[in-house]
Amino acid sequence: MSKIEVKDLYLIFGSKRKQALELVKKGVSKDDVLKKTKCTVAVKNANFSIEQGEIFVVMGLSGSGKSSLIRCFNRLNNPTSGSILVNGHDVLKMSEEELRQLRRTELSMVFQHFGLLPHRSVVANTAFGLEIQGVPESESHEKAREMLKTVGLEGYEDMMTGELSGGMQQRVGLARALTTNPEVLLMDEAFSALDPLIRTNMQDELIELQRKLKKTIVFITHDLDEALKLGDRIAILKDGEIVQIGTPEEILVKPADDYVRAFVENVDRSMIVTASSLMFKNTGKLILEKDGPSLALRRMREMGVNRLPVVDRENVFLGFVRDNDVVELKKKDDRDLNKILISDVMPKVAPDTPAADLLPLFIDKQLPLPVVDDDGKLLGVAVHSSVIAEVTGRDREEIIEIKNSGGI
């Protein structure tokens, strides 16, 4: 079961919501609905799930409906139609009491402007969520102190929050959201008010914290770099509609439309596109124990290549064989590929190696780089021309042309 499941969700603001809903469902645009009914379509037909333990980023331009969408999760906004299941329970069907319970124990929100009480101490602010649950002060403050330690604020417990820097206040906000031990954290532009260096630190710490706490985090941001860094998956919102959901890599490599493309255009792809998306999975690999030169030559012809990777029966990468050597071996009527195996020239690379880091590893441009998992098993091969194409932003065809004319 998914942690949060959103189905056919619409959120419309304005008094003629029902009429507006009918129009949107008929395909009338957000602008036209506004003209006809004075209603704003904030979320339109959203369908997606968020899994336990993931950081799910919601990204989009200002006014695209990011806040509106996640405020539906805890019913700070009342959806116009659809359903939202949290742990399988529909929040649209919950009573006031059940909703209070949900907000206190299940979903916790961290806001952009911290939402702290400036004249309360750090520890009192942090304990606030527990306090409204009726937890005695001795206990709530003890838990608050523990959480402050976790977010790196040990020693600041008794200061007034108004005396802290922005970055520290945001940590208090985070600690406060975490003290009630919620399963889901909703973070709406939580780091946007911080200056860049502190923001980067907070991102690193959130990742570290998540490694320990394994919450489900829904994180809203305008910032693509932040989205790519934090998100296990990213949803891109445009005019209240989700135009694409995918891993950071999917968003970069296959933007669904021009809107998404405009977001990703300015990113240094070579730092984010990795060996696993560049590599060819269909490697034509040979198995040392059983394959011989005849099969090797036949496969090279089929694939139009002059070398093939060799693995053992467990698929552990052993090396490459080249066509010339295979021909020689065959002439000698020898079947042992081991004798012509080139095994020590090239480094093996992990699937998450950025494209930019692959380039210097090509010692022999004729031989691809083997991409292997932690156990050394072959996942695919990264070919020099593909890596160049990625890093220089040139077309693959163009590179092949340059290569054929003696360049690169």
Ligand X SMILES: Nc1ncnc2c1ncn2[C@@H]1O[C@H](COP(=O)(O)OP(=O)(O)OP(=O)(O)O)[C@@H](O)[C@H]1O
Question: Where on the chain is the footprint of ligand X (CB under 6 A)?
Answer: 13, 40, 42, 60, 62-68, 222
Q: Both tokens of residue 14?
A: 């304005």
Complex with ligand X: residue 15 or 294, whichever CB lies closer: 15
Q: How many residues does the chain have?
A: 408
Minimum CB–partner distance for residue 278 and ligand X (Å): 33
Measured at the CA of 327, the angle between CA 326 and CA 333, to 5 degrees, comes to 90
- Give 40 or 67: the residue with its C-beta nearer to Mg ion: 67
In the bound state with Mg ion, the residue whose beta carbon lies nearer, of 67 and 353, is 67
DSSP string, 38-70: --EEEEEEEEEEE-TT-EEEEEESTTSSHHHHH
Out of Mg ion, ligand X, none, what residue 68 binds, judged by CB under 5 to 8 A for its kind, is ligand X
Reported as type and span, the H/E element at residue 317 is strand 317-322
Nearest to 281 by CA among 364, 356, 377, 365: 377
**Contacted by 367, from ligand X, Mg ion, none: CB < 5 to 8 Å by type:** none
CB of 45 to ligand X, least distance (A): 15
Shortest CB 76 distance to Mg ion, Å: 12
CB of 61 to ligand X, least distance (A): 7
**Residue closer to Mg ion (CB basis): 67 or 126:** 67
* CB-based closest residue to Mg ion: 67
Q: Which residues inside 60-79 make contact with Mg ion, applying CB under 5 A? A: 67
Q: Please identify, using beta-carbon distances, which residue of 222 and 299 lies nearer to ligand X.
A: 222
Number of residues that bind Mg ion (CB under 5 A): 1
DSSP string of 181-243, one letter each residue: --SEEEEESTTTTS-HHHHHHHHHHHHHHHHHH--EEEEEES-HHHHHHH-SEEEEEETTEEE
Based on CB atoms, which residue is closest to ligand X, 63 or 347? 63
Does position 80 bind Mg ion by CB under 5 A?
no
CA atoms within 13 A on the CB side of 3: 20
Chain centroid to CA 112: 21
Q: Which residues ranging from 266 to 305 are in contact with Mg ion (CB under 5 A)? A: none
Using CB under 5 A, list all residues that contact Mg ion. 67
